[in-house]
Every structure is written in structure tokens, then in C-alpha cells.
Structure 1
Amino acid sequence: MTALLAAGALLGSGFVAVAVPAATAAPVRAAAPVAPVAYIANSESDNVSVVDTATDAVTATVPVGDVPSGVAVTPDGGRAYVTNRGAGSVSVIDTASNTVTATVPVGDGPFGVAVTPTGGSVYVTNFLSGSVSVIDTATNTVTATVPVGSLPNSATAAPGGDRVYVSSGAAVSVIDTASNTVTATVPVGSGPYAVAFAPAAAASADIDVDVTARPSVGILVPYLTYTLTARDLGPSAVTTATVTATLPPGATATGLSPGCTTTTGTVTCVYGAIATGASASKTFRVPLHLLSLGTVKVIGTRTASSPADPNPANDSASATCTVVSILLATCT
């Protein structure tokens, strides 16, 4: 689970520098800056400085409203939203031209600002109105006003985009972004001023590989049956896994389970989803003939899986059969 941190200083100062992402991921409406830049709200100059982070030089100065205090950039890097605390508005800066293309009226004393991860909505804290204005970025209009605690200052969108956390008074208001209503109020210390999320731990799934064998002799076509088992030891569920069996020289494989293929000397089996604590098995046969006498050892190894496997120690196992004749074989 993602951890939430609330602090009283630096993380959410009213004069914010925000780096614009490079224009590589999400589709952009206009040509956003190729190199990352930063937008700095200058509260006493009533403008925004644009800094090229490659050279750390100011490349543009954009006039905005009275007492700009917060700034946030859309995920595609196309626009910067600036709260004008003294004007009760939000200036929308087009990052390709570094000009203000829209001014959105909001509540009294807009201060903090957050853009949802999809870029569809902007949440603005109205410090003197005790509310949060929700701006639709497609139309740059306010579509909802959410009452929160007194003197709201910072707003931070959760990584999943389903909630926005707003610090105010002595509590944090949790806004559900689907309904734009406060679904929880979390009491914290006096004067909360900033909210930040610690990244969730990456998912991982430890796959334990097991190989077993049993002989089927005394029949017209004797064979050894090998079973490849992938067991998910957690902590996350497996979405996909591949186990490859290495056969002894000269051995072939038949009777493969669905999802398994064979090439010279190997059998590769692909597994689908495996729940934590569960296992999945696939089988194949190694036919016996006079040249099979002796030891028939098969080694099974996890060769790929998702999510990542944090423990390679149990990624491989083997089973050995001793063939005395086509009528007698033992497996361990």
C-alpha cells in the first residue's frame, strides 16, 4: 500500500517549482518542451519563470495573475496550471509557447494545486473559501466545488488518481475523484501544510520450481513422465511464468501439456496466473528405448516470470530416473 506523509514545511511551500516531463510518454496536444524545464511561481513579481534544467537558465518569463503561489504541470507536459492567490484565479500556461491561454475563476485565495495522473482534472485549494475547485482540463472550467476544512493549503493526488489529499486546519481531507466528495477526514497535527506519497513497493512473486518423475514400463511403448510444478510463494500473485526443462542428450519429449513446446534437448512450459500460495503443474513424457538405459536426468528452471522473482535460490530443481531395462526403472 502506498504510504502517505504529512509534513509542516518544505514539501509543499506556496512557491513551487515543477519539472515538466519530457514529451515522450503520453500524447500531447501541442509540442511540449523536449528537455525538462521547471516552472517557478514568483509571488511578488506576479509572473512565472521558465527554467531550462539542462542549463539552469531562465528561458522565459510569463506574466500571470496577482500573487501566484502554486504551479502544477499536466502529465503530458503540455500545460502548467498556476494559482493566483490575490486574484482568485488559475492561469493556464501553454508550455509550447509559454503564454497564458486561459484564466479560470476559482474560490478566494487559491493556493495549492494538483493534477490527477490522467491529466483530466486539476484540484485547487481555496485558502480563504475553505473549499477545493475542480477544473476540467478539457474545457478549463470549474466543474465542482468541494467543501473541506478551514484554510486549505496543499493538494496532492494519490498515485492511483482515485483520491486527492488536502491539508487544512488540523486535518487532511480525502476527496474521492469519482464523486468529488470528501470521503474521509484524517486528524493530524496542528497546521498541516504539505502532503507527499511514498512509492509503493514493487510487486514480486517468489516461484518455487519442483520436478518429479514416475516410470511407466512393462507396456508396448514405455516412458517416463516428468512433472514441472511452479508454486507461488508470494507475496504477490504470478501473472505469467515460464519453466524450461533440459533433457539429457538424445532424449525426446512427447505428450506435452497445453502451453508446453519442445525443441531439441528442451521442453518449455508457459504458465498463466497463479495465486499466492497456489501451484500449477505441466507434464511431458520421455519415451524409453534400448539406448535410454542408465540415468535420465531432467532439470527444470524458471526462465521468466512476472512480477519479478526476488529469490533465485529455488528457481531450479531436477528429477532423475535410473533405467535398468525397458521393463525396470526407478525415479527420485
Structure 2
Amino acid sequence: MEAVTDSTAAVPDHGRVMVRSEFAPLRTVAVARSQFRAPDEMSDSEASFLAPEVLPILERMLGRDHGDVYPDRQRLWESERENLCSVFERHGVEVLRPRMLTDAEKAAGGSNGYANFFVRDPWFTIGDIVIEGNLRLPHRRREVLPSRDLLTARALEGRCSYLALPQPAVPDGAPGDLGAGPFLEGGDVLVYEKRVFVGNSGLASNAMGIRWLEKLLTPLGYTVETVRLAPNFLHLDCALGLIREGLLVACPDALLDGLPAALRGWERIEISERDGVGLGTNGLPISPEVYVTDPAFRHIGDRIAAHGVTVEYVDFAITRGFGGSFRCTTQPLRRE
């Protein structure tokens, strides 16, 4: 999908990569595709962060592509992403799309299946640095590949640094063992100027991955802070969202040590554990003045709007069933 911009929007600078914060005005964003084949088998821990009503749907999908099992649901899923793109384009945001998986990439997944459905996690942007991470779940470990053409054009050729984590260790075959990592997933990484908060629930990013990021960023003047999460929350953006300077949405039940110290003076919109598991913090600021969330969370959106923020609503019910929402579906290359 090509971007549609209005006459008031800034002219895109295709060489510019910069993400200053979670809520700085969004200029360029990648929006995920909707491809998923479930593994032949999934352990309880691999599905522990999903809502209970999704599990029967997932069980029917084991070893099969979502579109083959649920063609009507697949079309709805794709339309959710296209509706989000329309909102971005209406606000003058340049939209990029990863390509679809090739047959060879699908086959390479073997019994682990494949995924090309949440572009936030396999790579992410901090300042003028684009980083390819490592995903813990086996069916997602090749998810960066459909973004490589995009990354070649915008990161490798752009005015930024582009690097990747070391390859993760091979699991030893013990039940439930997914290897030592390092694991670092974009859903765990929240950027606030020179502060970077990284979640660790035991399900995604781990201490080795966070240590790698700290070693990279500290000499550049960044502070990297680990945020411990409850074990039923996959990523930090499922527990905490920065809406604008001084305003955040958070699920207290997910944050084992409370809010990071730097955010404790902010006004906060607190939500229940049920809404947190349902991804009530995973809305997306387009700017400090505009925020996107799901109509299922209108009760949260109304509280955000009371602070003078315009709230856009896009139905994301199918997407949320896979354990991610608006932030998970998007990856900014330019926020400033």
C-alpha cells in the first residue's frame, strides 16, 4: 500500500530514521501483514498470554494456516489492518508494508509453523538505530525476513545505524526449553527520549538480551531500565502505554515493581487486569494529540479523551485474539 498524504503533511524524507519517543508525531510506519500458521503443537506456556476464548480457535489451527481454516475470519483480519492504514493515511503518515512470506520461508518453518503478523517484535527503532531482535517463540523466529526489503531500502540505505542481536542459542531439547537467547522483542521496548524501558516477563525478552541492549546504548547516552512483568503478560506494551508527555495508561497488576521511577509523577489511567490481558494498554499515539484504540476499550478511550486527546477507534478484535493490538501491528521508522 502506498502512502497518501495531504497538503498539510510534512514531505517524507526517505533517508531519515528517528524515533524520539512513543508519542512523538508519527511520520513513517510499517504495518504488519496477516499471515500465521500455528505450530503442530503448542505448550501451555506458549499460549499462556492469550485470552481463554481464543484457545479453541487456536487448537483447531494447530499445524494449519489461519486463512485455510477460517477464510472469513482471515478476510476480517486483513480488513482490520487496512482500516488502520486508512487512519494513518488520513493523518498524513507514510505507510510501509512488509512483503508476504515466500513458499520457501513457509516451508522452512516445518512443524514450528510461521508468522508474519506483528511487525513490532522482530525489529525495532530507538533514536536513529534500527535493531533486528530475536524472538523466543520458534514459529516467529523468521518473522523479520518479510521486512528485509523494507529494511534494506530504509535502514541499510538510510541515515541511521542498522544492526542485529547475536544468533540465539539452540534449545537442548528439554520439554518447554526454547534456548538461552539472547532474546529481545520490540513489544518489550518503550522509548522515552534517552530512556529505554524493557519488559521481562519470562515469556519474551530475557536478561541476556537486555544486557546486550544496555551495552549498545549506554555509551550513546541512553539509560536502559528493566521492568519486571507478571508471567501472564507477554510484553511491556501489554502493561504500559505512553500517551503523551505526563500521561500514561497502565495495568498495575502487570507491573511487579510498579511504574518505572521516571514515570511515577505522570498522570495515569489505570486499568484492570482483565483489560490489560485484553490489550487495553496497546493503543497507539499518532501524535501527542491523537490516539488509536479499539472500540472494546471505549471506557478507556473516554478517560484518555478527557485529557484533551482525540481518540480514533478501529475494530481490532481478530488481531487482538492473536495476542497483540495496535502497537504490536506497527513499527515506526520516524517519530519526531
Name the structure where helix makes up a greater proportion of residues. Answer: 2
Q: Which structure dedicates a bigger proportion of its chain to strand?
A: 1
Asked if TM exceeds 0.5, the reply is no
Give the TM-score, by structure 1 length. Answer: 0.33
Structure showing greater radius of gyration is 1
Higher relative CO (Cα under 8 Å, sequence separation at least 6) belongs to 2
Q: Taking structure 2 as the reference length, what is the TM-score of the superposition?
A: 0.33
